[in-house]
Amino acid sequence: MELQYWIWIAVGLSFSLYIGIAIWSRAGSTKEFYVAGGGVHPIANGMATAADWMSAASFISMAGIISFGGYDGSVYLMGWTGGYVLLALLLAPYLRKFGKFTVPDFIGDRYYSNTARSVAVFCALIVSFTYIAGQMRGVGVVFSRYLEVDIVTGVLIGMGIVLFYAVLGGMKGITYTQVAQYCVLIFAFMVPAIYISFLVTGNVIPQLGFGSSGADGVYLLDKLDGLHRELGFHEYTSGSKSMLDVFCITMALMVGTAGLPHVIVRFFTVKKVSDARKSAGWALLFIAILYTTAPAIAVFSRTNLIETVSNQPYEEMPEWFDKWETTGLLGFTDKNEDGLIQYTADTTTNELTVDADIMVLANPEIAQLPNWVIALLAAGALAAALSTAAGLLLVISSAVSHDLLKKMVMPNISDKGELIAARIAATGAVCLAGYFGINPPGFVAATVALAFGLAASSFFPAILLGIFSKRINKEGAISGMLVGVSLMLFYMLKFKFGWFGGGTKADWWFGISPEGFGTVAMVFNFIVTLIISSRTPAPSKDIQELVANIRRP
Amino acid sequence: MSKSKNYWKKNIRYITILLSLWFIVSFGCGILFVEQLNTIQIGGFKLGFWFAQQGSIFGFVAIIFTYIYLMNKLDQTQNN
């Protein structure tokens, strides 16, 4: 059967499933809209968290980034999983015990101040908007590549679907569609991975195939190191970044993960404290399936790519080469006019440019897998992008309707009124996200790191200290958050956008990249919070009792 | 009161031990001592590289499930 038909079937079926779930799980109260009624099973919540967490970037781009970075790519693998240990051990159980709806709720109540609440709302909105714009763009890109509609139509279809189930069902609708989306995306990711692992190494488990040898008896990783040396790249299994920078980026991503509001709120949806711990464990297990497979795919596709193209005549390239060349993701210019493809680290002689996304998207074609596998991949990529977008949407709408409206502007608003406000806010947020998806601001790629840095340097210390210290007061927490966020913003604006005089790699403080600077800003946040708190009065008895209470199981 | 103090103290001890393990499998084996560990090869993997791209993630999963087990046991003593 034609590839196009397969794709329409896969996408059509998965979308009808999401819509069906949305109709079945409409939200009738704010509690259902914000936290799905608070009775989600820990395993279901684990799946929903995994789908929420794994975005278009994890699904489409990560394996490709690792494929080009080799060891350097490890920062994403460790950084985007290790945060769950922090969540399970340090944050999730206590925030569940606290038992409110949002992250700014906790900050506002624990630090008995609407200033603290406003700072938290501000950070939550910035973090979520930078993220969601990227997701809608991802939806548009997948549609345009696979379904041959233009990006604008793709974004509009994606907006329509998300709008339908997020506005109708709130957290309740989102939770159960995310469970379905996890199943779709993990199946779509694993099927080609298992195929390719079997083709290349004869082992059906990619995690093992990764360390096995190919048909020629040489270990894949040794072969790849050798190929890299020949072509002038740094060895695949050793990196090009400094150890300090790798350390800081990994830490910023881990702590940022633990501080991201759309991940934290998922733990408000389970019944009890022990369920919050359990669902963090399940979530990481479900995420780990994809995250331990991605580096294996990276190695298979890197080897495949180099062996297929390096020093081969351009005329003899397989069909997929032409196809992806027309999309602009693959480019060849014959600089020395010998008709062969020279793929090297040296930019003056290198003739091939490869976009990282191609590694996952074109992999089934490179490995000559059947058409239905490619169709599955399209449905999986859409599931990954839509599930993350929906989770972020909910954070934005609850920040507006609950934290701003109910808690600060109109405290007397009825539950019904708040529910209507939440739905209007969600609709507004979808439209804004769609706008950014269609007209992507140039900074989207650069600001994903900013989102993690911001979450790490603002929320994490305030929440952590709020639970583990009774002495930290509002003066300390507010000044800590402000110092952390401003320092992070300053560094990002200076080195990513050229403000404040700009600067190059040589000017980085201690050689730490903007991606890793969240770690430094977080340390400053901690120091400022501790010093200011120790010089100002302790919080009242009530607050200390609140802290003692969230520590009880 | 002393019962809940004891509960909290034990919880802190579990957290400290498990977070040290968290640090060792990722930052220790995958970053700080990666070069030393890379001299050891198991199958097709250099050990440091394996920890950075596989081992640390398996370690994280094991750490969380250990904590779930320990805390469920601790919660039970609290309820009796």
Q: Does B37 touch chain A (CB under 8 A)?
A: no
Which of A222, A281, A288 is opposite residue B68, by nearest beta carbon? A281
Under the banding of pLDDT at 50, 70 and 90, the label for residue B22 is very high
- ipTM score assigned to the predicted complex: 0.94
* CA angle, A387 then A389 then A393, to 5°: 120
Q: Mapped to the 3 state alphabet, what secondary structure does A475-535 carry?
A: HHHHHHHHHHHHHHHHHHHHHHHCCCCCCCHHHCHHHCCHHHHHHHHHHHHHHHHHHHHHH
Q: Does A311 touch chain B (CB under 8 A)?
A: no
Distances, alpha carbon A126 to alpha carbons A261, A335, A396, A428, A438, in Å: 11, 44, 9, 15, 19
pLDDT tens-place string over residues A358-406: 777 777 777 778 888 888 888 888 888 888 888 888 888 888 888 777 8
Q: Does A83 touch chain B (CB under 8 A)?
A: no
**Domain boundaries defined on chain A:** 3-299+362-441, 314-359
* Global pTM value: 0.90
- Report which secondary-structure segment, H or E, holds A331: strand A330-332
Q: Tens-of-pLDDT digits for all 553 residues of chain A?
A: 687 888 889 888 998 898 888 888 877 788 888 888 778 899 999 999 999 898 877 888 888 888 888 898 899 999 999 999 999 999 999 998 888 788 888 999 999 988 888 888 888 888 888 777 777 777 777 777 777 777 788 888 888 888 887 888 888 888 888 999 999 999 989 988 998 888 888 888 989 888 888 777 788 888 888 888 888 788 888 877 888 989 999 999 999 988 888 888 889 889 888 899 999 999 999 999 999 999 998 888 888 888 888 888 888 888 778 877 877 778 888 888 888 888 888 778 888 888 777 777 777 777 778 888 888 888 888 888 888 888 888 888 888 888 777 877 888 888 888 888 888 988 988 888 888 777 766 555 556 667 888 889 988 999 999 999 999 999 999 999 999 988 988 888 888 777 777 777 777 888 788 888 999 999 999 999 999 999 999 898 988 988 888 888 7
CA A522 to chain CA centroid, nearest Å:
20
Distance, in Å, from the CA atom of A416 to the CA atom of A12, rounded to the nearest integer, reads 34
Q: B60: which chain A residues are within 8 Å (Cβ-Cβ)?
A: 81-82, 84-85, 284, 288
List own/partner pairs for A544-547 with CB under 8 A and 24 or more apart.
A544/A470, A546/A109, A546/A110, A547/A110, A547/A466, A547/A467, A547/A469, A547/A470
- Report which secondary-structure segment, H or E, holds B53: none
- Residues with Cβ within 8 Å of A502's Cβ and at least 6 positions away in sequence, in order, are A494, A495
Q: B19 and A207: CB-CB below 8 Å? A: no
Top-level CATH class of A3-299+362-441?
mainly alpha
Distance, in Å, from the CA atom of A74 to the CA atom of A246, rounded to the nearest integer, reads 9
- Cβ(A405)–Cβ(A421) below 8 Å: yes
CA A545 to chain CA centroid, nearest Å:
36
Q: Does B67 touch chain A (CB under 8 A)?
A: yes
pLDDT above 70 coverage of chain B, percent: 96
pLDDT of residue B1: 55
H runs (alpha helix) in chain B: 2-23, 34-38, 47-50, 56-79
Coil, helix or strand at residue A270: strand
If we measure between CA atoms, which residue out of A355, A344, A358 comes closest to residue A310? A344
If we measure between CA atoms, which residue out of A489, A412, A476, A449 comes closest to residue A122? A489
Q: Does A73 touch chain B (CB under 8 A)?
A: yes
Q: B8 and A71: CB-CB below 8 Å? A: no
Distances, alpha carbon A264 to alpha carbons A53, A259, A289, in Å: 11, 7, 21
- Residues with Cβ within 8 Å of A271's Cβ and at least 6 positions away in sequence, in order, are A38, A39, A40
